């Protein structure tokens, strides 16, 4: 079997960055070049101050420190790195289309296509091309068609190797992956060889039985399916949180009770203000779009409901704040603790926080935010991306703070949007003393100590808990 000595990864984002850092850490004999067209991003990856890495992930600094400069390199030299590599990973972003056919539903594959064309252009010897970005089923076929038609005699093997890491736990997920999925052309010798070469890389640190080989389409569809199933569990528990709020049932107790059934399992049953992140919504929309285009209306409607329930949950949270604050939040200060889509990441893509903020800002609330890792620049970029009001209006209605106690001063209400651990142990008495009364807390993650807060005097509202 061919021993791999040089890898190129196109795209130094949340997937490409951590994944390649771990591959380099675990395979010191392989040179790993991570390339990106975003010069600032590459500068940040190369910064000697590891606090400036473009991505915040627990444990990532240590991995980068070990491998960077040894066999892990970040650069903008895309063509040279492709040329030198035996394996090229495509790890670029695949956002939902914002224009034309499939707008708001299908994945925009223009970045992937550009990569394929660039690989085709510069390659002088045979290569394995691996799709790592989350992609709709059959993308490999499109990539293959572009690569096979270069006419320069170079042969490509296309593999699908979807990434299952979750942000906030990326390094641990990579070190201890439940499984690695490699989809390829099992029916040909070259296809099998390519799959084995990639298997060999992961086998540096993972037991062989966790590395699954399938055909390309199964691999592509498994990624969408895994995310759809996980998101579906959250929407299921969130749908019942609404019922709990109307009854004496407590969603945390219900989740614990059903999660103890080993057939159901305890994970992904944590009720919340709604799931966010770059994957769940995008992948389900993708699945829905594929089903619709194949005429499978019922299947499409079934999965779409997971998204509709998530939208409902975010809206419900915001509406509950308005209703509780005497049906108006106009010119009231509402402090958000947390903006990231989950704890331990600085990523804000599809974060529930921006949709809840948008809803409240439509009712003329003033939103002031503290998040331990998200910059104010990012928060404004998120709000401007929604396009609900002018940039000037966003600047008037939204304010970011670098100190949580300042953020909470004189607030009419506090809303917890992200489950950062530090929020639990704040000096809640101090926060209470400096707030408007009655002091409301809306805990969108059910992380705060309700009893303690109520003893201080707060009016506490959790999710799926009768108030």
* Interface positions with ligand UDX (CB under 6 A): 163-167, 227, 230, 234, 268-270, 272, 275-277, 279-280, 341-342
Least distance CB 55 / ligand ADP (angstroms):
8
Q: Which does 16 bind (CB under 5 to 8 A by kind): ligand ADP, ligand UDX, none?
A: ligand ADP
Q: By Cβ distance, which residue is nearest to ligand ADP?
A: 13
Least distance CB 324 / ligand ADP (angstroms):
36
First-residue to last-residue Cα distance in the chain:
64
Residues that bind ligand ADP (CB under 6 A): 10-16, 35-38, 41, 78, 91-93, 111, 114-115, 133, 278
Q: Which is nearer to ligand UDX, 73 or 355 (CB)?
A: 355
Long-range contact set of residues 377-380: C-beta below 8 Å, sequence gap at least 24:
378/339, 378/346, 378/348, 379/339, 379/348, 379/354
Q: Which is nearer to ligand UDX, 194 or 234 (CB)?
A: 234
Annotated catalytic residue, options 26, 127, 132, 223: 223
Is 371 within 8 Å of 418 (Cβ atoms)? yes
Annotated catalytic residue, options 27, 115, 244, 279: 279
Q: Which is nearer to ligand UDX, 268 or 432 (CB)?
A: 268
Query: Coil, helix or strand for 460?
Result: strand
Q: Which does 167 bind (CB under 5 to 8 A by kind): ligand ADP, ligand UDX, none?
A: ligand UDX
Q: Element (H or E) spanning 173, and its range?
A: helix 170-175
Within 10 angstroms of residue 326's Cβ, the number of other Cβ atoms is 9
- The edge-to-edge listing of strands for the beta sheet with 156-160 is 72-75, 31-35, 6-10, 87-90, 127-131, 156-160, 180-184, 211-215
Question: Is 223 designated active site?
Answer: yes
Dist. CA 122–CA 147, nearest whole Å = 11
Q: Which is nearer to ligand UDX, 33 or 271 (CB)?
A: 271
The residue whose two tokens read 């219900």 is 254
Question: Is 279 designated active site?
Answer: yes
Least distance CB 11 / ligand ADP (angstroms):
3
Is 143 within 8 Å of 117 (Cβ atoms)? no
Question: Is 86 designated active site?
Answer: no
3-state percent helix, strand, coil for the chain, nearest multiple of 5: 45, 15, 40
Q: By Cβ distance, which residue is nearest to ligand UDX?
A: 277
Q: Which is nearer to ligand UDX, 2 or 179 (CB)?
A: 179
Least distance CB 3 / ligand ADP (angstroms):
27
Annotated catalytic residue, options 163, 185, 350, 368: 163
Least distance CB 291 / ligand UDX (angstroms):
20
Within 10 angstroms of residue 377's Cβ, the number of other Cβ atoms is 9
Residues designated catalytic: 163, 223, 279
């Amino acid at each position: 079997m061919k021993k791999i000595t040089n890898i190129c990864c196109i795209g130094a984002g949340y997937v490409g960055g951590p994944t390649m850092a771990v591959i380099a850490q675990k395979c010191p004999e392989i040179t790993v070049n991570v390339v990106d067209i975003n010069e600032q991003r590459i500068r940040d990856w190369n910064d000697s101050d590891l606090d400036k890495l473009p991505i915040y992930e627990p444990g990532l600094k240590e991995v980068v420190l070990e491998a960077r400069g040894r066999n892990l390199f970040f650069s903008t030299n895309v063509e040279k790195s492709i040329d030198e590599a035996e394996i090229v990973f495509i790890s670029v972003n695949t956002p939902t289309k914002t224009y034309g056919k499939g707008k708001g539903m299908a994945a925009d594959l223009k970045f992937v296509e550009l990569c394929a064309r660039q690989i085709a252009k510069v390659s002088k010897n045979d290569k394995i091309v691996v799709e790592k970005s989350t992609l709709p089923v059959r993308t490999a076929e499109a990539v293959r068609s572009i690569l096979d038609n270069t006419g320069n005699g170079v042969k490509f093997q296309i593999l699908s190797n979807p990434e299952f890491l979750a942000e906030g736990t990326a390094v641990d997920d990579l070190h201890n992956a439940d499984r690695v999925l490699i989809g390829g052309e099992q029916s040909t010798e070259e296809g099998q060889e390519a799959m084995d070469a990639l298997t060999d890389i992961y086998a540096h640190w993972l037991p062989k039985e966790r590395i699954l080989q399938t055909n390309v389409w199964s691999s592509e569809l498994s990624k969408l399916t895994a995310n759809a199933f996980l998101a579906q569990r959250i929407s299921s528990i969130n749908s019942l949180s609404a019922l709990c709020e109307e009854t004496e049932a407590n969603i945390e107790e219900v989740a614990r009770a059903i999660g103890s059934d080993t057939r159901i399992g305890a994970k992904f049953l944590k009720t919340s203000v709604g799931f966010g992140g770059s994957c769940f919504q995008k992948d389900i929309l993708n699945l829905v779009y594929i089903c619709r285009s194949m005429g499978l209306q019922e299947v499409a409607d079934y999965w779409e409901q997971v998204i509709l329930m998530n939208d409902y949950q975010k809206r419900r949270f915001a509406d509950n704040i308005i209703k509780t604050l005497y049906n108006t939040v106009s010119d009231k200060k509402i402090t958000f603790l947390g903006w990231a889509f989950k704890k331990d990441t600085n990523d804000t893509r599809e974060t529930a926080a921006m949709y809840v903020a948008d809803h409240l800002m439509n009712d003329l609330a003033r939103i002031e935010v503290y998040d331990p890792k998200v910059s104010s620049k990012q928060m404004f970029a998120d709000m401007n991306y929604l396009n609900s009001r002018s940039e000037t209006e966003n600047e008037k209605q939204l304010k970011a703070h670098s100190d949580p106690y300042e953020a909470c001063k004189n607030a009419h209400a506090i809303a917890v949007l992200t489950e950062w651990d530090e929020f639990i142990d704040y000096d809640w008495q101090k926060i209470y003393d400096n707030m408007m009364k009655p002091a409301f807390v809306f805990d969108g993650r059910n992380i705060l100590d309700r009893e303690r807060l109520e003893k201080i005097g707060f009016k506490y509202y959790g999710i799926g808990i009768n108030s």
